[in-house]
Structures are given as C-alpha cells and as structure tokens.
Amino acid sequence: MKKKIAIIGAGIAGLTLANFIKKKSEHDFILYEKQESLSLEEGYGVQLSTNSTKILNMIGFNKIDNKKIFHPKAIDFYSIQNQKICDLDLSQFNTKENKYTTLQRSTLIEFLKDDIYTQHLRFGKK
Ligand SMILES: Cc1cc2nc3c(=O)[nH]c(=O)nc-3n(C[C@H](O)[C@H](O)[C@H](O)COP(=O)(O)OP(=O)(O)OC[C@H]3O[C@@H](n4cnc5c(N)ncnc54)[C@H](O)[C@@H]3O)c2cc1C
C-alpha cells in the first residue's frame, strides 16, 4: 500500500532516506527542514566509511565525478605535542566497489538533494 511519509530534517540522514524512498519505492514523502535553506558552504569536509559508501552507492553515489572525491589510504594520529601515536591502514577496509572516501560536505549535499529538491523539500518547517 502506498504510504505518505514525513521526514524531519534535511541533513545527510534525512536526504539519504528521501533518496531511498524516491528511487526504491512508490511511497509519497515530504522532507521538512527547520532552516530556510540547505547549507552548501564549502570548507567543511566529510569522511565516509566503507559502510556509508556502500549505502550511498545504492542510490548512485558511485557515478559522482571522481575529481570531487578522494580515497585516502591511511590516517596518521598525532599528539598535541606533534608526536606520532599510531597510524591506521584504511585500505584494508576497502573493496573494489566501496572505498573509504573524503569529500566536501557541500558536494555530498548537492548529490543528495539533486532528485529531491523542489518537489519534496519544505523549508522553514519545524
Ligand atoms: C565539525 C563536524 C565534523 C564532522 N565530520 C564528520 C565526518 O567527517 N564524517 C561523519 O560521518 N560525520 C561527521 N560529523 C557528524 C555529522 O555532522 C553527521 O554525520 C551528519 O551530519 C549527521 O547527519 P544527520 O542528518 O543525522 O544530522 P544533521 O546533519 O544534524 O541534520 C539534521 C537536520 O535536521 C534539521 N532539524 C532538526 N530538528 C528539526 C525539526 N524539529 N524540524 C525540522 N528540521 C529539524 C536540522 O536543521 C538539520 O538540517 C561531523 C560533525 C561536526 C560538527
């Protein structure tokens, strides 16, 4: 049975759910966001584990422009005194399809809002 779904909050979680409903079901949905717009400021990065890229790839994230994303192979951890504590080999978690990924938060939001924006998103609604 076709349902009417209200999603509260157009953050990464709300937008991802909206994409799944839109692409994988027949249900009607509206996304209610209390702010007046989506924050698309550049400057903030976001790191996506392989689990999250696996989920996002189901809604087409693997077709995103390769120049806009980066797959770091390792992370070094340093103390505030600039002494290395340890490192982590990120590539061990990668598969061919799903890789640890970093990108600008705005790029991810742009991708997630593409299919959702006008029809399904209501701003200034708390
Ligand atoms: C500096 C910083 C760096 C971060 N870096 C990372 C990272 O690299 N990787 C990572 O996975 N996570 C990171 N996080 C955590 C990150 O913010 C979350 O992973 C992600 O944004 C959570 O998305 P969300 O949709 O759950 O919540 P949010 O992004 O907080 O979205 C919630 C939305 O709901 C709206 N809202 C709230 N209440 C209502 C209401 N009553 N009615 C209508 N709308 C409402 C808000 O306005 C907001 O737009 C970081 C957080 C910070 C602060």
Condensed to tens digits (0 to 9), the pLDDT of residues 34-88 reads: 999 988 877 789 999 999 999 999 999 999 999 999 999 999 999 999 999 999 9
**Per the confidence metrics, is the pTM higher than 0.85?**
yes
What was the pLDDT predicted at 16? 96
Total domains present in the chain: 1
Residue nearest ligand 1's atom 12 by CA: 46
Does residue 105's CB lie within 6 angstroms of at least one atom of ligand 1? no
Q: Where are the alpha helices (DSSP H) in the chain?
A: 12-24, 50-57, 105-113, 117-120
Residue 22: predicted pLDDT: 93
Q: Is the pLDDT of residue 100 over 80?
A: yes
Please name the residue that has the structure tokens 């996002």.
56
User: Could you tell me the CATH number of the domain that includes residue 33?
Assistant: 3.50.50.60
Q: Tell me: pLDDT of 3 over 90.
A: yes
Range of the domain at 72: 4-123
Give the span between the Cα atoms of 20 and 36, in whole angstroms.
24
Tell me how far the alpha carbon of residue 18 lies from the centroid of ligand 1, in angstroms.
15
Q: Is the CB of 106 under 6 A from ligand 1?
A: no
Give 12 Cα–ligand 1 centroid separation in angstroms: 7
Is any atom of ligand 1 closer than 6 Å to the C-beta of 102? no
80: its two tokens: 């505030």
Token digits of residue 5: 């779904």
Residue 19: what pLDDT? 95
At 115 the pLDDT is 81
Beta-carbon-side half-sphere exposure of residue 28 (alpha carbons within 13 Å): 5
Residue nearest to atom 15 of ligand 1 (CA): 46
Task: Quickly list H helices, 7-124.
Answer: 12-24, 50-57, 105-113, 117-120
Residue range 107-125, pLDDT digits in tens: 999 999 988 877 899 999 9
